Amino acid sequence: MFEKTKEVKEGRYGQLDKTVALLFFEPSTRTYGSFDSAAKRMGCKVIGIQDPDTASLKKGESTYDTVRMFVGYGADALVIRHPRAGAPKYVAEAFDVPVINGGDDGHEHPTQAMLDLFTIWEKFGGFEGLKVGIMGDLRYGRTASSLAYGLAKWGVRMRFIAPDLLQIHWRNDRLEEQLREMGADFEKTDQVKLDDLDVLYVTRIQKERFVDETEYKKVKGSFHLGQNSLKGVKNKMIILHPLPRVDELSPDIDRMDHAWYFRQAENGLYVRMALLELILGD
């Protein structure tokens, strides 16, 4: 997957002449845009729905009927973004067409994890010996959990940095239990200690999750990174963020060599192109 993405990024890719249906039952700027662009660059026709508000869904059509229609229109692969967890799995079981999960509620966002992993691989040439800090909203965020599963598979050491309220042990899925079953090497802390990290993955802290405004302000203060917060970090350390950011990463970091989040976002295009080629290519 990573080798394929690298080839694609270097401009080495063929044309697929297939039809890809982008079925976004929930709006998304970045994921839709990059899948749309990826499919078109690979020579695919793109059909589907971008805005559920203007689609037949507004009239109450079921997910099943909507998907069935686009399968009937000749879709060779489906990209499903859905506000209900488990919807892509359901569609994959119901139809004999490859399905890519483009994000399902708070459950998973696997292509985001793939581009996160590719960006780390691109920087370090592998995963051996790396230590990755994952910081922010680890309780409700889906990108952090998808990434953690990926990193655990490569035996990467992880540090989950979050206030207790947003730590992984509060998640409603089995992330922590599964990481333990996988023998993953990880620690949990509410201290922002960055000096031994190779990668810092930052996610947005969601204000709406806090009942107590004072608690939010306290957390927001300690989880806001500016240039000053990065004193003493490793020279080669990179900062990633699934974007959009709010105020957890100060724009003054953008100029630093550590800032890799825009490059990471761009990699989303190449990873999705590679994925389409792997699924639809000969």
Partner 1 sequence: MVNRLKNGIVIDHVVSGKGIHIITLLAEKTAGHRVILLQHAESRKMGTKDLIKLEDVKLEDTDLQFISLFAPNATVNFIENEEVVRKHSVKAPEMVSGLIRCPNARCITNDPGEAEFLVSRLKRVKTGYICDYCEQVWTTKTYPDGWSANKVGV
Rounded alpha-carbon distances, angstroms, from residue 21 to 32, 65, 72, 117, 135 = 11, 14, 11, 25, 34
Catalytic, 54? Answer no
Q: Which is nearer to partner 1, 60 or 221 (CB)?
A: 60
Contact 227, 256 (CB under 8 A): yes
Among residues 60 and 125, whose Cβ is nearest to partner 1? 60
Catalytic-labelled residue, pool 12, 59, 231, 255 = 59
Q: Which one of the listed residues 18, 107, 109, 241 is annotated catalytic?
A: 109
Is 169 labeled as catalytic in the residue annotation?
no
Q: Which residues contact 125 (CB under 8 A, 6 or more apart)?
A: none
| Strands of 145-267, DSSP E | 157-161, 186-189, 199-202, 238-240
- Say if residues 275 and 1 touch (Cβ distance below 8 Å): yes
- State the catalytic residue, choosing from 4, 81, 159, 258: 81
Q: State how far the Cα of 5 lies from the Cα of 278, in Å rounded to an integer.
A: 10
Closest CB 126 distance from partner 1, rounded Å: 29
Distance of CA 123 to the CA centre of its chain: 18
| Least Cβ distance, residue 132 to partner 1 (angstroms) | 23
Q: Which residues pair with 135 in a beta bridge?
A: 161, 202
Of 181 and 247, nearer to partner 1 (C-beta) is: 181
Give burial (CB, 10 Å; 0-12/13-18/19+) of 221. Answer: exposed
Nearer Cβ to partner 1 (89/220): 89
* Site of interaction with partner 1 (CB under 8 A): 60-64, 82-87, 89-90, 94, 104-107, 172-174, 177
258 is annotated as an active-site residue: no
Distance CA 83, CA 26 (A): 6
**Choosing from 31, 119, 143, 203, which is the catalytic residue?**
31
- Least Å distance, CB 169 to partner 1, is 12
Is 81 designated active site?
yes
Is there a catalytic annotation at residue 174?
no
Closest distance between partner 1 and the C-beta of residue 107, in Å?
6
Residue matched to tokens 């909203």: 137
**Minimum CB separation from partner 1 for residue 276, in Å?**
24
Closest to partner 1 by CB, 89 vs 188, is 89
Active site positions, annotated: 30-31, 59, 81, 109
